[in-house]
A and B are shown apart, each in its own frame.
Chain A
Amino acid sequence: MAFSVNISIEAPIENQIQEITYDGQEIYQNPLSMSESLAKLAQKIDFSKATVEDIKKENGEQPEKGEEDPLLKDPVNYQSSLWPWDTVRNKLRSALTEVCVLADVLSIAKEKRFMVLDPVQQEPVETKPIVQVYARKKALFGAASVLLNGAERLRNTQNEMTRNRSTPDFHIELLRLRQNWRLKKVSNSIIGDLSYRTAGSKYAQTGMFEVTKAEDEPPSSGSPPPSPGAGASAKPSSALRVTVPSELQGVGYIEVLCQKDQEDLCSATINTLGPSPTTANPDVHWQQKLEAAQNVLFCKELFNQLAKEAVQLQAPIPHMVVGNQILATFLPGIQLIIGLCHSAVSDKKPVAAPPQKSEHDHVLEHSLHQLLREVHHKNTHHPFPHPSSGPIGPSKRRCLAGPMAADRYELLEMTKSQTLLEQIIQQAQHFFMRRRTEYVLDTMAKEVKDPLIVSHWNALNSPMQSCVKINIMTHGYDAILRTSLVVQVGEKSLKCVCRDGRVMHMSYEPQELRDLIFCQIYQHQINAVHCLAKCMGWQFLSNSSHLGLGAVEPLGNASSCIFASPIGDRILCWAAAYMCWPELVLQEADATAPRAVPRCLMLSHAAKADSTPGQLRGRPAKSKLAEHHQRQFWYIRLDVMERKNIMNSVCLLMSYLTCGSVLS
């Protein structure tokens, strides 16, 4: 229940007590009336005082006096109560007197007859400069000491902070983390996302990690600390800790191998966790941890995609997916092995390095990464519609398909695209073809010394095509003739373009390339002899590219050409076949003339028939002709001649024969 209380407010008693009677009654002094209070105030004005400070000083003194004044003056006032303004009038009068005096003085001074006003030299204020300097110095010292104190204090606090702060501040670390990774706050915890979702990935596995404050915990009871004090005083290297999902911990990578068929297909050693470069270190910085986890997620997505495709694709030899490996056979006998290597932190036992039969191909691994990134890119970067009112999504070809009346076949073709696995298999095929071609050319260059085989590979090439230019030349005679051809290495085939415009397509078998090069060599020899003969002045009589005489050649056909010496007394016949020594046959017009060529080099037809039946190229028709014409022909033993190469020997021979005829 609320009662209303009356509150009365009274002012305290202001009036002075004049007298207290014996019976306790107080007689109050009557308050001053308006005129009386005005008179009291007017008395206080002293017209002789000019400045306010004086008045204030006076006022400061006056209140004490003012207390007594009215009391003192009260009897006076009471006596002369008829004129309370008397003091005021007196003061005014004295003021007036003073002002009159001043006016008189000024008028007299103005007349300049009796009084002159002259300025008085003021004494200069004697200030010793040294005193000033001292004063300033003291003042500056004071200011400097204040500033120095402040700076000292700041420096001390800073040093203390950096010393005590071996772990940086949690919030600064969080800021750095936020600059690199996407974070968001969910109720009480901070969750981050390290997946490639925003970059266009459609992989289902989430890459969420949690960020917590790192506390100075005592070491867990797993392993005893090395020294009793070390564990307790170990501070974490950063103020925050990131918790990565267990399936993404550790380091992972995709291993790509190209190798020949192994007897044991379950080469499980490759399947094991490969040696990880960074061991399981719980103190690893959060940036590295997150990057490694992101990489593991990327590799998992890549492998998942490849495995799906391997199962769906229908290849002539089906692909196999075994555990963490995909086995794809792209050439007979050659396999592409793609494996996912993931070393988790929890793996305690030491991992032995698997015996690598062929080394992991970093280029193909990089290509795989690039291919998946390209898929991501296509997922996000859809082409914009032009004009802008069109729908987002269809490519330019699709947009044009309507107005340009594309048929069903074209539309279906537009929808087809190559899968990752197909693309990487193509790249691996090309890589293998290139290596094989290199091998073939290198071994041939080592084997065949007589015409030199020089190969130049193009520095720029694509993942699906490379180019090599092969020059076949004879040492010392490269100005006379150089046979060149270009071999374009594709994915499963080779294409050879010769100088004369012939184009030959070869398959992946290395023997075909060998055969081709050998054919080119043998043709080079014939053409070189031809050019050499021209240089030496010998007359070219005839040639035959495909001799139908003699035994059947294993490859190609034998060919020959015939030259006559400048004066026509000797005839030289060159006959060559694939992979055989060329044969030189010399016919002399005059059997009795001294031979220019030493006897040891010459072999008569009959002798040759006895000695080397295998290499005999029987030319019965020619020998019959020879018999008829009384001409002798001789085989030249090129193998016995000392020379650099066959061209050299032919050149020497021709020069002998020419000189010989000249001399004789």
Chain B
Amino acid sequence: MRLHKKSTAMDSLTSAIKSNIIPNQEYLLQGSVFDSAVEVLLHRLRGLCDNVDSGPETFHDHEMCFSMRSSVQPMLLRVRRALDYQEMPWQLRYIGQNELGDKSRPTIVRNSIDIGTSSTIVEFLTELGCRMDFEYIVRGYMFRKGRMKITVSKIFKMGQGKPLESVEPMSQSYLVELSVLAPSGQDAIAEDMRSFAEQLRPLVQLEKLDYKRLQHVA
């Protein structure tokens, strides 16, 4: 009886993977605005996105990036927790490299796996051999339009001492991200994202960034 149950669980898992319903791709567009222009952008997003009646949802997160330098290519893992909702589970996230598709693709497409964990994940990763590369605090607003998620956030450097107290902003601007988590193969959503980005065009330019160029700059 127990064996029978175990096989059905595995069966359902494999069938889920095969039938392509697990959202493991992230489609992403990014941009930024200065602090002085963020109010206008928030106003516009509030009008364009769903649920105008409830105000924009705020979030206050703490993210830590771990890397495991075992093989040639270090594996990067991100652990994120919500500081304003302490009872919600932590998120462990693996983000893959950008898919090198044709240049005409409107958005960045990359592999992304999100897993809910308890707060013991940090200890677990440390035991596995990961080291924490850096951490930061993000604070901002979240919007939603259909399947798309738009975040307008400010990144804060963590000061020495208590993590919540001494935080200073890293820059005088806000990071704007438009992302969708979808199973692989649903490229039509990228078009919708692009047309939505067009609507925000004069206020913020959302485009796909070339990370390789950024690395060279750094």
Which residues of chain A have a CB within 8 Å of any CB of chain B?
380-382, 384, 386-392, 396, 399-400, 402-404, 408
Tell me the dominant secondary structure on chain A's binding face: loop
- CA of A396 to CA of B88, assembled, Å: 7
> What are the 3 tightest A-B residue pairs by CB atom distance, in nearest-first order?
A386-B82, A386-B85, A402-B116
Is B51 a contact partner of A403 (Cβ separation < 8 A)? no
Is A388 a contact partner of B142 (Cβ separation < 8 A)? yes
**Set A384, A389, A396, A403: member contacting B117, Cβ < 8 A:** A403
Q: How large is the interface on B (under 10, 10 to 19, 20 to 34, 35 or more residues)?
A: 20 to 34
Could you give, for residues 81-112 of chain B, a 1 whenever the CB lies within 8 Å of some chain A CB and a 0 otherwise?
A: 11011001111010000000000000000000
Chain A residue numbers with a CB within 8 Å of B80 are 387-389
Question: B69 at interface (Cβ–Cβ under 8 A)?
Answer: no
Least CB distance from B149 to A in Å reads 6
Chain B residue numbers with a CB within 8 Å of A380 are 50-51
Stretch of B53-61, B165-173, B208-216 at the chain-chain interface: B53-61
What residue in chain B is nearest A198 (Cβ atoms)?
B50
Is A387 a contact partner of B59 (Cβ separation < 8 A)? yes
- CA of A392 to CA of B146, assembled, Å: 10
Is B118 a contact partner of A389 (Cβ separation < 8 A)? no
Is B116 a contact partner of A388 (Cβ separation < 8 A)? no
**Set B57, B82, B147, B149: member contacting A387, Cβ < 8 A:** B82
18 A-B residue pairs with CB within 8 Å = A380-B51, A382-B144, A384-B57, A384-B59, A386-B82, A386-B85, A387-B80, A387-B91, A388-B149, A388-B153, A390-B116, A396-B88, A403-B89, A403-B90, A403-B116, A403-B118, A404-B89, A404-B118
Is B59 a contact partner of A386 (Cβ separation < 8 A)? yes
Chain A residue numbers with a CB within 8 Å of B30 are none
- CA of A390 to CA of B112, assembled, Å: 10
Is B144 a contact partner of A384 (Cβ separation < 8 A)? yes
- CA of A400 to CA of B147, assembled, Å: 22
Given contacts A380-B50, A399-B116, A403-B118, whether A387 and B151 have CB atoms under 8 Å apart is no
Given contacts A381-B54, A384-B57, whether A389 and B93 have CB atoms under 8 Å apart is yes
- CA of A498 to CA of B177, assembled, Å: 62
Which residues in window 151-207 of B have CB below 8 A to A? 151, 153, 181
Question: B1 at interface (Cβ–Cβ under 8 A)?
Answer: no
What residue in chain A is nearest B89 (Cβ atoms)?
A403
Is A392 a contact partner of B147 (Cβ separation < 8 A)? yes
- CA of A381 to CA of B52, assembled, Å: 11
Is A392 a contact partner of B144 (Cβ separation < 8 A)? yes
- CA of A241 to CA of B103, assembled, Å: 50
Question: B130 at interface (Cβ–Cβ under 8 A)?
Answer: no
Which residues in window 43-70 of B have CB below 8 A to A? 50-51, 54, 57, 59, 61, 63
Chain A residue numbers with a CB within 8 Å of B90 are 387, 403
What residue in chain B is nearest A394 (Cβ atoms)?
B116
Tell me the dominant secondary structure on chain B's binding face: strand
Is A402 a contact partner of B114 (Cβ separation < 8 A)? no
What residue in chain A is nearest B138 (Cβ atoms)?
A388
Is A400 a contact partner of B144 (Cβ separation < 8 A)? no
Chain A residue numbers with a CB within 8 Å of B57 are 384
Question: B10 at interface (Cβ–Cβ under 8 A)?
Answer: no
Chain A residue numbers with a CB within 8 Å of B50 are 380
Could you give, for residues 17-55 of chain B, a 1 whenever the CB lies within 8 Å of some chain A CB and a 0 otherwise?
A: 000000100000000000000000000000000110010
Question: B3 at interface (Cβ–Cβ under 8 A)?
Answer: no
Is B88 a contact partner of A399 (Cβ separation < 8 A)? yes
Chain A residue numbers with a CB within 8 Å of B82 are 386-388
**Set B54, B84, B91: member contacting A389, Cβ < 8 A:** B91
What residue in chain A is nearest B59 (Cβ atoms)?
A388
- CA of A41 to CA of B140, assembled, Å: 84
**Set B23, B54, B85: member contacting A391, Cβ < 8 A:** B23
Question: B72 at interface (Cβ–Cβ under 8 A)?
Answer: no
Least CB distance from B84 to A in Å reads 7
- CA of A381 to CA of B93, assembled, Å: 25
Is B88 a contact partner of A387 (Cβ separation < 8 A)? yes
Chain A residue numbers with a CB within 8 Å of B63 are 387, 389
Is B138 a contact partner of A386 (Cβ separation < 8 A)? no
- CA of A196 to CA of B121, assembled, Å: 44
Question: B128 at interface (Cβ–Cβ under 8 A)?
Answer: no
What residue in chain A is nearest B84 (Cβ atoms)?
A386
Chain B residue numbers with a CB within 8 Å of A399 are 88-89, 116
Chain B residue numbers with a CB within 8 Å of A404 are 89, 118
Least CB distance from A97 to B in Å reads 78
Chain A residue numbers with a CB within 8 Å of B149 are 388, 392
Least CB distance from B113 to A in Å reads 11
Most buried by B among A387, A396, A402, A403: A387
Is B114 a contact partner of A390 (Cβ separation < 8 A)? yes
- CA of A391 to CA of B140, assembled, Å: 17
Is A400 a contact partner of B54 (Cβ separation < 8 A)? no
- CA of A386 to CA of B181, assembled, Å: 15
What residue in chain B is nearest A388 (Cβ atoms)?
B59
Least CB distance from B57 to A in Å reads 5
Given contacts A381-B54, A382-B144, whether A388 and B151 have CB atoms under 8 Å apart is yes
Given contacts A380-B51, A402-B115, A403-B118, whether A387 and B144 have CB atoms under 8 Å apart is no
Chain A residue numbers with a CB within 8 Å of B147 are 392
Least CB distance from A208 to B in Å reads 21
- CA of A592 to CA of B138, assembled, Å: 104
What residue in chain A is nearest B182 (Cβ atoms)?
A391
- CA of A396 to CA of B54, assembled, Å: 19
Chain B residue numbers with a CB within 8 Å of A381 are 51, 54
Interface contacts beyond A399-B116, A400-B89, A403-B89: sample of 9 additional A-B pairs, CB < 8 Å, sorted by A: A382-B144, A388-B59, A388-B140, A388-B142, A388-B149, A390-B116, A392-B181, A399-B89, A404-B89
Least CB distance from B164 to A in Å reads 15
- CA of A382 to CA of B78, assembled, Å: 25
**Set A387, A396, A400: member contacting B81, Cβ < 8 A:** A387
Chain B residue numbers with a CB within 8 Å of A382 are 144
Most buried by A among B82, B89, B114: B89
